C-alpha cells in the first residue's frame, strides 16, 4: 500500500499555469476583430485625451477578460513613455456583489489601505460615493475602472455616477473611464437610457469561438503548458470539438485540456491521449452538474429532490403531477411553505434546460390527453452531491 508521500515527477507539464484562467498569453488568437475595436476604443488614453467608456459583452469564456488584461498590459507599458500621462487601472469583479452600493464600497476598499476599509453597512450612500471620489482624486490622472461581470449588479447607480463624476464636479484631478464587462447579452438593453448612453459609449461584442479558433487557442496554450511531444496531435482538436459543441467557451475547452493532463499524470502515463480527454470530460461534466445544482433556486432544488424520490419509487419516468406531492413532503420536512404546481412545472422546465433532467411530451390522444414525463439525466450521486448540506432529507 502506498504511503502517500509526495515527490515531484516533472512529468507531463512544463508550465501548467498556462492553462489557468488568470494566465495572459503574449498574443491572443482568434480575437483579431474584437481586439482591433477594443484597441481603437482605448486609443484616446495614449493621446492624453479623456478616456472613453467601454462596454464589452459576450458569453462567458469568449475572451473578454483575457482581451482586457492583454490590452491594458500593453497600454500601461506604452503610457510609461508618454510625458505627462499618469495611468492607473482599478479592477473589480462584481461576482457576489448585488448592488451598486456594495460595488462602491468594494472600490473604496480596493483603493484604501486595509486599516482604512469601510464596512458594507452603516454608511449613507452619498458618503460612500464621497469616499470613492476622494480616493480617485488622490490618485489623479487617467483612471480606468474595470467592472468585470457587471451584470451581477441589480441597479445601475454606480454606472450612472462614475462616467459623470468629472462633469458633476465630484472629481477634479482625475479623468475616469469605465470598462464594463458582461456575460449577459441582454444586460445593456436593460440599463436605463441615461446609463446606456454613457457607459456604452464604445461597444465591443465578443462572438463565440468556432472549432478552428478553439484549436488555435488550445495549441497556443498547449505549447507552453506541456512538455514537448507529450500531447497527442488529436487532443487539442478533440477538446476544441467538445468546447464548440457545448458552448464555444474557451474556458471550458482549456479546463478540459488541463484535466486531461491531470488524468494522464494521475495514471502515471507518459503522454496525453484522446482516452484521457474522454475521462476528463466525464469528470468535469459531473463537477458542472454539482455546481449548477448548488447555485440553483431554493424551490428548484426541492423540486429536483422530489423528482429523485418519485423516480426511485416508480423506477420509470415520472409525470409532472406525480412530483408535486413528494415536493410538498420535502417542503414540510424542510419547514418551508410550498410554491404552486405551476411554479414547480417551471422549475422542471429550467432543470431540463440546464441538462440536469430530461423531459418528454406524451400525447395519448383525446382519451388520454397530453402530459410531460421527467427523468434524471445526470447520475443520482452527482445530484445528491449538489444537494448535500442543503436538504435535511438527503441521505
**pTM: predicted TM-score of the whole model, two decimal places:** 0.72
With the CA atoms of 260, 264, 265 and 271 taken in that order, what torsion angle do they form, in degrees rounded to the nearest 10? -110
Most confident of 137-146, 277-286, 289-298: 137-146
125, pLDDT greater than 80:
yes
Cα-based torsion angle of the residue sequence 91, 97, 100, 102 in order, rounded to the nearest 10 degrees: -90
Q: What strand order describes the sheet that includes 370-376?
A: 318-319, 370-376, 357-363
CA quadruple 95, 101, 106, 110: dihedral sign: positive
- Edge-first strand listing for the sheet containing 54-57: 87-93, 141-148, 174-182, 54-57, 202-205
- Pair 201, 237 in one domain: no
| 35 shares its domain with 179 | yes
Angle, to 10 degrees, between the axis of helix 211-225 and the axis of helix 234-246?
A: 130
- C-alpha cell of residue 365: 390522444
Annotate 30-68 with three-state secondary structure: CCHHHHHHHHHHHHHHHCCCCCCCEEEECCCCCCHHHHH
Question: Three cell numbers at 14?
Answer: 512544463
Mean of per-residue pLDDT scores for the chain = 90
What is the rounded average pLDDT of the residues 142-158? 93
Region 91-113: mean pLDDT is 94
In a domain, 11, yes or no: no
Of 248, 274, 293, which residue is a domain's last? 293
Q: Is residue 4 part of a domain?
A: no
Position 1 confidence tier, pLDDT thresholds 50, 70, 90:
very low
Provide the domain count of the chain.
3
What are 141's strand-pairing partners? Answer: 174
Answer whether residue 350 is part of any domain. yes
Distance CA 321, CA 341 (A): 8
| 394 is a domain residue | no
Q: Which residue has the cell 473611464?
A: 177
Q: For residue 280, which phi and psi values (nearest 5 degrees)?
A: -60, -40
Q: Are residues 51 and 113 in the same domain?
A: yes
Same domain? For 43 and 149 the reply is: yes
CATH of the domain at 45: 3.40.50.300
- Residue 178 makes CB contacts below 8 A (sequence gap 6+) with 53, 54, 144, 145, 147, 159, 162, 163, 199
Those residues with Cβ within 8 angstroms of residue 11's Cβ, 6 or more apart along the chain or in another chain: 227, 265, 268, 270
The residue among 263, 293, 323 that closes a domain is 293
Indicate if 180 and 245 belong to the same structural domain: no
Choose among 251, 66, 71, 59: nearest CA to 151.
59
Q: Assess if residue 26 is contained within a domain.
A: no
In a domain, 19, yes or no: no
N- to C-terminal Cα distance for the chain?
31
CATH of the domain at 380: 1.10.10.10
pLDDT band at 392 (very low <50, low <70, confident <90, very high): low
Residue 16 resides in a domain: no
pLDDT band at 70 (very low <50, low <70, confident <90, very high): very high
Q: Look at 373 and 390; give whichever has higher pLDDT.
A: 373
69 lies in some domain = yes
Mean pLDDT to the nearest integer, 51-55: 95
Do residue 266 and residue 325 come from a single domain? no
Give me the pLDDT at residue 323, please.
Answer: 93
Band of residue 139 on the pLDDT scale cut at 50, 70, 90? very high
Same domain, 192 and 249: no
Based on the fold, state whether residues 189 and 243 are members of the same structural domain.
Answer: no
Please name the residues in contact with 227: beta carbons below 8 A apart, sequence gap of 6 or more: 11, 12, 13, 14
Statement to judge: residues 58 and 163 lie in one domain = yes
Q: What percent of the chain has pLDDT over 70?
A: 96
pLDDT at 369 over 90: no
Check whether 308 has a pLDDT greater than 60. Answer: yes
Q: Are 53 and 199 in contact (CB under 8 A)?
A: yes
Q: Is the pLDDT of residue 205 over 90?
A: yes
Q: How confident is the model at residue 313 (pLDDT cuts 50, 70, 90)?
A: confident
Is 186 found in the same domain as 150? yes
Together in a domain, 345 and 276: no
Give the end of a domain, one of 155, 186, 205: 205
Q: Which residue has the cell 420536512?
A: 333
Cell numbers at residue 130, please? 464621497
* Cβ-based neighbour number of residue 174 at 10 Å: 20
CA distance 71 to 69: 6
Instruction: Find out whether 103 and 94 touch, Cβ atoms under 8 Å.
Output: yes
Task: Give Cα separations from 211 to 17, 217, 233, 242 (angstroms).
Answer: 23, 10, 15, 9
Return the residue matching grid coordinates 507552453.
224
Containing structural domain, residue 228: 209-293
User: For 52-66, 154-168, 235-249, 315-329, which range has the lowest pLDDT when averaged over its residues?
Assistant: 235-249
Do 108 and 242 reside in the same domain of the chain?
no
Task: Count CA atoms closer than 13 A to 115's CA, side-chain side.
Answer: 0
Amino acid at each position: 500500500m502506498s504511503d502517500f508521500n509526495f515527490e515531484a515527477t516533472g512529468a507531463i507539464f512544463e508550465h501548467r499555469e498556462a492553462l489557468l484562467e488568470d494566465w495572459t498569453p503574449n498574443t491572443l488568437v482568434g480575437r483579431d476583430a474584437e481586439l482591433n475595436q477594443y484597441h481603437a476604443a482605448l486609443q484616446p488614453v495614449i493621446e492624453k485625451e479623456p478616456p472613453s467608456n467601454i462596454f464589452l459583452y459576450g458569453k462567458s469564456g469568449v475572451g473578454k477578460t483575457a482581451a482586457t488584461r492583454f490590452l491594458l498590459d500593453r497600454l500601461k507599458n506604452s503610457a510609461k513613455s508618454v510625458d505627462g500621462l499618469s495611468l492607473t487601472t482599478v479592477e473589480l469583479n462584481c461576482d457576489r456583489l448585488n448592488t451598486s452600493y456594495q460595488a462602491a464600497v468594494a472600490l473604496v476598499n480596493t483603493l484604501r489601505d486595509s486599516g482604512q476599509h469601510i464596512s458594507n453597512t452603516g454608511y449613507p450612500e452619498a458618503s460612500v460615493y464621497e469616499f470613492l471620489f476622494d480616493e480617485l482624486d488622490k490618485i489623479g490622472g487617467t483612471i480606468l475602472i474595470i467592472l468585470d461581470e457587471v451584470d451581477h449588479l441589480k441597479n445601475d447607480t454606480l454606472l450612472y455616477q462614475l462616467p459623470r463624476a468629472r462633469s458633476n464636479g465630484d472629481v477634479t484631478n482625475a479623468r475616469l473611464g469605465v470598462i464594463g464587462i458582461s456575460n449577459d447579452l441582454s444586460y445593456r438593453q436593460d440599463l436605463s437610457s441615461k446609463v446606456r448612453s454613457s457607459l456604452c459609449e464604445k461597444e465591443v461584442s465578443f462572438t463565440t469561438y468556432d472549432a478552428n479558433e478553439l484549436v488555435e487557442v488550445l495549441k497556443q496554450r498547449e505549447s507552453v503548458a506541456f512538455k514537448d511531444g507529450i500531447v497527442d496531435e488529436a487532443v487539442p482538436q478533440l477538446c476544441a470539438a467538445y468546447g464548440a459543441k457545448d458552448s464555444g467557451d474557451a474556458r471550458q475547452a482549456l479546463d478540459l485540456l488541463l484535466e486531461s493532463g491531470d488524468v494522464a499524470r494521475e495514471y502515471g502515463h507518459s503522454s496525453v491521449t484522446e482516452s484521457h480527454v474522454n475521462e476528463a470530460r466525464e469528470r468535469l461534466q459531473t463537477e458542472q452538474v454539482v455546481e449548477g445544482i448548488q447555485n440553483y433556486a431554493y424551490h428548484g432544488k426541492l423540486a429536483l429532490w422530489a423528482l429523485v424520490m418519485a423516480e426511485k419509487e416508480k423506477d420509470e419516468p415520472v409525470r409532472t403531477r406525480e412530483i408535486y406531492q413528494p415536493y410538498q413532503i420535502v417542503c414540510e420536512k424542510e419547514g418551508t411553505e410550498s410554491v404552486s404546481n405551476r411554479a414547480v412545472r417551471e422549475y422542471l422546465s429550467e432543470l431540463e434546460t440546464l441538462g440536469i433532467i430530461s423531459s418528454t411530451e406524451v400525447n395519448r390522444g383525446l382519451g388520454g390527453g397530453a402530459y410531460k414525463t421527467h427523468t434524471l439525466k445526470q447520475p443520482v450521486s452527482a445530484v445528491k452531491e449538489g444537494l448535500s448540506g442543503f436538504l435535511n432529507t438527503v441521505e
